[in-house]
Amino acid sequence: MALELTPDQHAYRERLRAWLDEHGKDAPPRHVLEPQDDAAVARLREWQGVLADAGYVGVTWPEVAGGPGGTPAEAVIVDQELEARGLSGPFDFIGIGMVGPTIMAHGSDAQKETFLRPLIRGEEFWCQLLSEPGAGSDLANVQTKAVQRDDGTWLVNGQKVWTSFAQHAAHGILLARTDSSVAKHKGLTMFLVPMDADGLKIMPLRQITGDAEFNEVFMDDVELPADAIIGAPGEGWRVALTMLGFERVAVGSGLHAVRLERLVAAIASDEAASADPALRVRMGQAASQLLALRHTSERVVQEIAEGKVPGPEAGLIKITSVVASLDACRFVVDALGPDALFGEWGHQVSALPGVRSAGGTEEILRNLIGERYLGLPPEPRIVPPPSAPSPAAPAPAGAAA
């Protein structure tokens, strides 16, 4: 991806700056991990709508999907200008970065028409109903079941966990088992679920930070219409892989990434820290990681805009982002002293370790990259022996015949 801007791109930047001069005065400030209270979410939702109306959300989305049909370079420019002013971008990064592209790739025309425009404007938030207590890194092991009834509708029962934004979401994208007689990767189907459906219950999970960013979701005889499927019955794993590819990019290059400019500003604010040779070495290490992450993210944005679906290598962005951001936050706290623990940097030190599991644990992602992208030998896997009839066990002494 070319880093030098063309005259058209320079003109785009100037138009954006003029627009932000007029509309950005009351915009919410940017945080690595956005607040979750109702008042803050309402403000962020409103700001997303303002950005979307001006064409600054989902910049590379086609016009038919509610986007402006812009270029990857323009998407990068928008992010750069919002960051330079310390302004928040679109809040619903799950919808914009993961669900929306998945609906564009696999959804029906009716689903695209119904869901994409409200999604991009922040009118309807989305969540992912994927992980379960026994299906995290091994996502194909989901046990939530969807049974089709004679009239074509579906009845869903099960539990999901670690569901971000469930408390704010209007809709969820749900992976459920629809056929238990085939291999676990083949018996899955993806559904679109209204989060206010009868029989669906959301329970918050309180974290060490005191926030409840994640939730458990319980489904007890939740009824879904026949057209709630995205893709086709039995193709849920293929749809899930598409979304997981987009998720790793969004988690890595979205709201969870510490930006280089913020790191520099934090250290520069303390004269003693900025002059310490040892801290300057750590500063250079952290800065180089964040700069490499920025350019890698820009390349992936280019590929997505060209119609490519992120592959296993996109996991590199997620791994690098969380590790580099956590290292940067810990560095700032070390440099500025214990008082920094009581501000946003300390909050991130507590919150970011949980993000290491979002979108797949580092260990799983490294295996995927090694096996599917680098061609390395696969990790040893336990293959269960063929089932055989068990010999009858002898009856315990004294048991009745």
pLDDT tens-digit map of 65-113:
999 999 878 888 898 899 888 899 999 989 998 999 999 999 999 999 9
If one counts every other C-beta atom within 10 angstroms of the C-beta of residue 123, the result is 14
Most confident of 49-63, 205-219, 259-273: 49-63
Catalytic residue at 363? Answer: no
Q: Which pLDDT value is given to residue 310? A: 63
What's the confidence (pLDDT) of residue 311? 65
pLDDT at site 397:
40
Residue 401 has pLDDT above 50, yes or no: no
Inter-residue contact 136 to 207 (CB < 8 Å): no
Q: Cα–Cα distances in Å, from 352 out to 137, 323, 338?
A: 18, 9, 18
Exposure pattern of 22-40 as b/e (b: 16+ CB <10 Å)? eebeebbebebbbbbeeee
According to the model, what pLDDT value does residue 251 have? 52
Least confident among 95-104, 175-184, 187-196, 259-268? 259-268
Cα(160)–Cα(395) distance, rounded to whole angstroms? 42
Residue scoring higher pLDDT (175 or 98)? 175
Which 3 state secondary structure label does DSSP give 226? helix
Mean pLDDT of the chain: 84
- Cα 139 to Cα 240: distance, rounded to the nearest angstrom: 9
* Best CA proximity match to 268, nearest among 178, 335, 198: 335
User: Band of the pLDDT at 392, cuts 50, 70, 90?
Assistant: very low
CA atoms within 13 A on the CB side of 68: 17
**Total residues found in the chain within this entry:** 401
36 DSSP 8-state letter: -
pLDDT reported for residue 373: 79
Q: Where does the chain hold its CATH 2.40.110.10 domain(s)?
A: 126-235
> According to CATH, where is 1.20.140.10 located in the chain?
256-373
Average pLDDT over residues 272-294: 86
Q: Are 61 and 120 in contact (CB under 8 A)?
A: yes
The whole-number average pLDDT for the span 160-167 is: 91
| DSSP state letter for 28 | P
Question: Cα separation of 79 and 89, whole Å?
Answer: 7
Please report, rounded to a whole number, the percentage of residues in the chain having pLDDT higher than 70.
Answer: 85
pLDDT of residue 86: 85
pLDDT given for residue 374 in this prediction: 85
Thinking of the domain 126-235, which architecture would CATH place it in?
A: Beta Barrel (2.40)
pLDDT above 90: percentage of residues in the chain: 45
**What is the Cα–Cα distance from 255 to 36, expressed in whole angstroms?**
13
Across 16-30, 318-332, 370-384, least confident range: 370-384
Contact 121, 49 (CB under 8 A): yes
Which of 81, 124, 132, 247 is flagged as catalytic? 247
Query: What is residue 244's predicted lDDT score, i.e. its pLDDT?
Result: 81
CA distance 305 to 71: 7
Burial of 398 (0-12, 13-18, 19+ CB in 10 A): exposed
Angle at CA of residue 240, ends 237 and 243, nearest 5°: 160
Long-range CB contacts for residues 273-281, cutoff 8 Å, separation at least 24: 273/335, 273/336, 276/335, 279/331, 279/334, 279/335
Grade residue 120 by pLDDT with cuts at 50, 70 and 90. Answer: very high
Q: How far is CA 141 from CA 31, 144, 394, in A?
A: 35, 9, 35
What's the confidence (pLDDT) of residue 160? Answer: 97
**Which of 1.25.40.90, 3.30.70.270, 1.20.1540.10, 1.20.140.10 is the CATH number of 256-373?**
1.20.140.10
For 229, which DSSP code? E
